Amino acid sequence: MNLSARARALALSVLSAYVAFALLVTLYGESPWFVARLVFEGTWGTGYGVGQVLFKTTPLLLTGLAVECALRAGLFNVGAEGQLAVGSLAAAAVGAYLGPVPSLFAVPVAVLAGAAAGAAWAAVPVLMKARYRAHEVISTILMNRIADSLVALLLGLGLAEHGTVRTRDVALTARLPRLSAVVGAFRGSAVSVALLAALLLVFLGPLFFRRVRIGREINLVGQGAIACRAAGIPVTRRLVQAFMLSGALAGAGSMSTVLGYKGYFEQGLGAGVGFTGIAVAMMGRRDPWLLLFAALLFGTLDQGGLAINAYVPKELMQVVTATVIVAVAWFERRGRGATP
Amino acid sequence: MVSARGLRRVCGSVVAVDDVSIDIEVGKIHVVCGENGAGKSTLLKIVAGVMTPDRGTVRIEGAPLVPHRADEALRRGVAMVQQHFALVPEMTAVENCMLMDAFVLRPAAMRARLRGAMDALGFEVATDVPVERLGVGEKQRIEIARALTREARVLILDEPTAVLTPQEATELYDALERLRGQGRAIVVVTHKLDEIERYADVVTVLRRGKCVLAGARARGSSTADITAAIMGAGHGIGTATALAAPTDEVVLRVESLTLAPSLRGVSFEVHAGEIVGLAGVEGNGQRELTQVLAGLVEADAGSFRASGAAIAVVHEDRQTEGLVLDATLADNVLLGRLGEVSRHGIVDLTRFRTEARSRLNRVEPLLDADALAVSLSGGNQQKVVVARTLADIAGGARVLVAAHPTRGVDIGAAAVIHERIRDAARGGAGVLVVSADLEELRGLCHRILVIARGELAGSFAPSASDAEIGEKMLRRRAAS
Amino acid sequence: MSLLSGVGTFASETVRLSVPYAFAALGGTLSERSGVPHIALEGVLLTSAFGAIAVHIATGSSILGVLAGALTGALVGGLHAATVVRGGVDAIVSGVALNLGALGVTRFLLRALYGSSANSPSVAGFGFALPPALRVLLDPFTVLLVACTLGVSWLFRRTRFGLEVRAVGAAKEAAHAVGVPAARTQALAVVAGSLLAGLGGAALAYDQHQFQAQMSGGRGFIALAAVILARYRPEPAVLACLAFAALDALQVVLQAHTRLPTDLVTALPYLATLLVLIVAGRRKQSPAHLG
């Protein structure tokens, strides 16, 4: 699809989303223009707003990359949600029990703990797929639910501070510095160094799938597993690697929420980010710039919901997000001249 | 009965059918022939409403085919039996026939109708078994019988004998002649000259999407004019180079290989420098043998031993087993061999490119290493697959197994592929060529093995007749 | 509590809890059999529960409420069919989006119409003066479910439409070649299936006599697992739903009578489903298009 067709697809998508937005706002008895202005002012209108959008964008970059990584291998990771949840708990728990060690050690350990937990959580569905041909879409959805229960269970069993639903505070050395320390305009916003780490990973992605043998083979397996198997590529191993890497990336999404923002984990922190990551990956279409754009778009919508909640229920933005997801997929198919 | 005028259809970047007209009359067997890729299938799919033309019209009994759809053509009596059968594998013959019938199903009535149609044709096929459990010949018979249950008066068959033994093919034409006698029109796509000679009342020859010969012919008359029309002037096929006699050294020894239910105690040897053909009707164990030799499936019993590195394999379905269609030729020709151009798990892109280029050069210097495999013609796709296996042989493999190496490949590419296979044998490799095309095996092999129902049924010199080999291929299925 | 009445209560609870699952599973069977994955069943349950209650509150009629539930389901199914079958959008993407949209739209309307972010006002529902066990069995939804199960089964075995759905799901190209209108068949299967799932949403809402935010609670996903477990056949899918509902009922019992942590108990149905997928995987046979 050429650039102008893509631009037209995008414009039509934004238009459809605005129609849905205006319809619901009008239904609620508010003026669409007024609310739209609130959305803008709460997001890109102020330094704080921009910082918050970037904060919301950070985990989306990672879950989007996670979903893309699985998609490269031809697998659908609908489980980034659960992988992020267990990853967040692990990062917070490990971060909290780290003693007085230097940041250079504490931060990587906490991040890796989150990534490892995410990878482990992703291992279950992919091994089920490899062994028992259980469809990964269903099993990851179930794993999301089980993750919710597990997280609640572990919090209840002692990971939470007494009488609360949150973990102890993460050691200060394991926290990620806020960007507002460098960029004054972001003052008060939660965007942290995690954004830079996420961007680095997003832009390293294509290199991995091109230059690294495993990555390149993962990509080929996704395009034609049968031929790869016939040509001697260890297909099952590549699928497992791709999916666990996907889980690790999703789990690493916790670095912005747990280590960069709250400093602890509580039930529900980061909820929804895994699902939106699917949309980010689909819109990203293997291009880091598009992926970044998609994450910014959904990050903006999310933050925009908070900005309007005093006038219109913020759930409105979920409907708008859903409309964008469907509309983008729809118009891009049309743009490529695909016939159903 | 059916008359099509000025049909044109572009598929991708190729004009598949270019301003072709065709008239189909009742009481005639009409043969459409031409090389692979000449546009035969596309033309008849348009006539049967399966594909829409970009230009031109199809009229059935004078009235235009509107809307241009398969169900409408069928309603007006034009049915097509495609190469890839339009049967739902998990459903029985009766269920398949009910697909376009009354809203509330009447299996008993349909069974009776189907049986009636089969009786009229002299067929006998199980009607209540999922069709995926039946052989290709049986599926074809179900398709023909189904067309008759729909009262089809024009029956179009796309390469119906490609998958049949010579005997089955004869039986098919017997049935078709019977239908012709009942005042139906038959259209057959084939490229087998003896069939044209024996059965054709009317012939249409296509070349590169254009009609180059059309007209009635006396049955049994010479086919020289048709051959010339198919090939086109000055389109000589490179003559095959001679092969030396094989040596005594055994490079592949297969001993009582068994894989239930497809292979039963298969034993044979291939010598260095030898090309052995494996003939048989599709679905008699060839596929399973290839997969066992390729190391993709483990045999239940028996063993095989090959000299040199792993066996190099050209798999039978190049679009799924041979190639990753959405990847570049460079990736495809190095598929599974990235280790050879990587260091510490990092791909050296310079070596990757030069190695890919040199591999492609073995078969076709004109291929663009950065093109996607999906954009190539069937012939060039197959060349890429062959290039990969040739590199394996250069890298130390001494056995080449090539399953249907030239299926769906144009004559020029087939000649190149055959020559590369001969090169491999000349270089000291042992080659096993699996094919359903006896002509191909005759031209290529030192000897021809016949497989039937998972057993080797005979070994022949290339000069053996169709009848001799065909008889072994047939070996009626016992109680299946 | 005597053992007998305990067992009776458990059985009637199981049947009661199974109804929403079973409707969703029937709908899922229709859709998935045609080759269109339908993870939006979750969103269908949620929106149709809301649709049923909202219309009931507006009109005071439970009949209209149930109808509205079914129609809401069909509407969401229509969106799914339009994007997937017509628009060529990936069915999983469409499903995720619809589930998200369903979550958002119901909460939005909950606040817009009833000024609450948790639940709607209560409605009467279908009250009959019958003993508890009989009340479950003669519940209009239970009766309707039995009828629909038999209906879907008949559709698959005895009608050309059912045959066409199977054909399109198993071999789309082959079906198209013999003139089965593949796209229309899939769209119809998805819409009809979603209509059935919509009845499940209505059943869920009337069971609680109100709409609650996120009240579908993953039932659509479990129903989908039941469909796969049943290898895309209607009666076994409904039976599988009974089994899942029994786990739900057990969960209630366990919470009341044991000291197992609640969170462990709520995970039970999902863990069981996961196990069941492993067992089913050994002999799986899915419509070709679902991979």
| Average pLDDT of chain B to the nearest whole number | 86
- C105-164: pLDDT as tens digits: 999 999 889 988 888 988 886 655 566 666 666 788 999 999 999 999 999 999 999 999
What's the confidence (pLDDT) of residue C262?
79
Q: Is A181 on the interface with B (CB under 8 A)?
A: no
What's the confidence (pLDDT) of residue A1?
55
CB of A275 closer than 8 Å to CB of C98: no
Among the ranges given (A275-284, C83-92, C208-217, C272-281), the one the predictor scored with the smallest mean pLDDT: C272-281
* Chains in contact with B via at least 3 Cβ–Cβ pairs below 8 Å: A, C
Return d(Cα C61, Cα C67) in angstroms, integer. 10
Burial class (CB in 10 A: 0-12, 13-18, 19+), C264: middle
ipTM: 0.86
DSSP label of B340: G
- B285-320: pLDDT as tens digits: 888 999 999 988 899 999 899 888 889 999 988 888
Return d(Cα B395, Cα B398) in angstroms, integer. 9
Pick the residue of A217, A218, A238 with the most B CBs within 10 A to test the interface with B by mutation: A217
Q: Does the pLDDT at position C1 exceed 70?
A: no
- Strands B301-306 and B346-347, by their bridges, are unpaired
Top pLDDT among C240 and A8 is at C240
Q: Does the pLDDT at position B464 exceed 90?
A: no
Q: In this complex, do C160 and B103 lie within 8 Å of one another by their Cβ atoms?
A: yes
Distance to chain B for A72, nearest Cα, Å: 12
Query: What are φ and ψ of residue A339, in 5° steps?
Result: -105, 135
Of the ranges A68-72, B206-210, B368-372, B394-398, which is most confident? Answer: A68-72
| Dihedral angle over CA of B387, B388, B393, B395, nearest 10 | 120
Considering only the beta carbons, identify the residue of A27, A78, A139 that sits closest to C112: A27
Confidence of residue C291 (pLDDT cuts 50, 70, 90): very low
Mean pLDDT throughout C69-84? 96
Top pLDDT among A14 and B354 is at B354
Confidence of residue B241 (pLDDT cuts 50, 70, 90): low
In terms of C-beta distances under 8 Å and separation of at least 24 residues, what long-range contacts does B134-139 make, across chains too?
B135/B281, B135/B283, B135/B477, B136/B163, B136/B164, B136/B281, B136/B282, B136/B283, B137/B163, B137/B164, B137/B165, B137/B168, B137/B281, B139/B85, B139/B87
Q: Is C93 on the interface with A (CB under 8 A)?
A: yes
Return d(Cα A261, Cα A263) in angstroms, integer. 6
CB contact set of C106 (below 8 Å; sequence gap of 6+)? C46, C47, C50, C211, C213
Confidence of residue B385 (pLDDT cuts 50, 70, 90): very high
Chain B residues in contact with C170 by the CB 8 A cut-off are 88-91
Top pLDDT among C178 and B269 is at B269
- With CA atoms as reference, the chain B residue closest to C173 would be B86
What's the confidence (pLDDT) of residue B255?
92
Chain B residues in contact with A235 by the CB 8 A cut-off are none
Among the ranges given (B194-198, C12-16, C235-239), the one the predictor scored with the smallest mean pLDDT: B194-198
Q: In this complex, do B88 and C158 lie within 8 Å of one another by their Cβ atoms?
A: no
Confidence of residue B412 (pLDDT cuts 50, 70, 90): confident
Q: Is the peptide bond before B67 cis (omega within 30 degrees of 0)?
A: yes
Distance to chain B for C102, nearest Cα, Å: 36
- With CA atoms as reference, the chain A residue closest to C276 would be A134
3-state secondary structure of B425: helix
Distance to chain A for B118, nearest Cα, Å: 37
CB of B107 closer than 8 Å to CB of C157: no
Q: Does the pLDDT at position B239 exceed 70?
A: no
Instruction: Mark which residues 192-231 of C lie under 8 Å from A by CB.
Output: 218, 221, 224-225, 228
What's the confidence (pLDDT) of residue B237?
45
Could you report the average pLDDT of every consecutive run of 10 residues in chain A (340 residues)?
Answer: 74 90 89 91 91 95 96 94 95 87 89 96 94 88 92 86 83 85 85 93 95 95 93 94 97 91 86 90 88 93 90 90 89 58
Q: Is the peptide bond before C140 cis (omega within 30 degrees of 0)?
A: no
Q: In this complex, do C103 and A318 lie within 8 Å of one another by their Cβ atoms?
A: yes
Chain A residues in contact with C98 by the CB 8 A cut-off are 322, 326
- B129-182: pLDDT as tens digits: 998 888 777 888 898 899 888 888 999 998 888 777 777 888 889 999 988 988
Instruction: Mark which residues 14-33 of C lie under 8 Å from A by CB.
Output: none
DSSP label of B454: T
What's the confidence (pLDDT) of residue C285?
46
Distance to chain C for B202, nearest Cα, Å: 26
| Average pLDDT of chain C to the nearest whole number | 88
Among the ranges given (B32-36, B56-60, B239-243), the one the predictor scored with the smallest mean pLDDT: B239-243
What's the confidence (pLDDT) of residue A244?
97
What's the confidence (pLDDT) of residue B211?
86
- B40-62: pLDDT as tens digits: 888 999 999 888 899 999 999 98
What's the confidence (pLDDT) of residue A335?
63
What's the confidence (pLDDT) of residue A2?
65
Distance to chain B for C248, nearest Cα, Å: 36
Q: Does the pLDDT at position C167 exceed 90?
A: yes
Whether the model pTM is above 0.80:
yes
Mean pLDDT throughout B185-196? 84
Per-residue tokens: C162: 């059912």
What's the confidence (pLDDT) of residue A172?
82
What's the confidence (pLDDT) of residue B478?
40
Task: Choose among B189, B166, B175: nearest CA to B117.
Answer: B175
Among the ranges given (A211-220, B224-233, C280-289), the one the predictor scored with the smallest mean pLDDT: C280-289
CB of A266 closer than 8 Å to CB of A166: yes
Return d(Cα A173, Cα A106) in angstroms, integer. 6
Return d(Cα A338, Cα A319) in angstroms, integer. 26
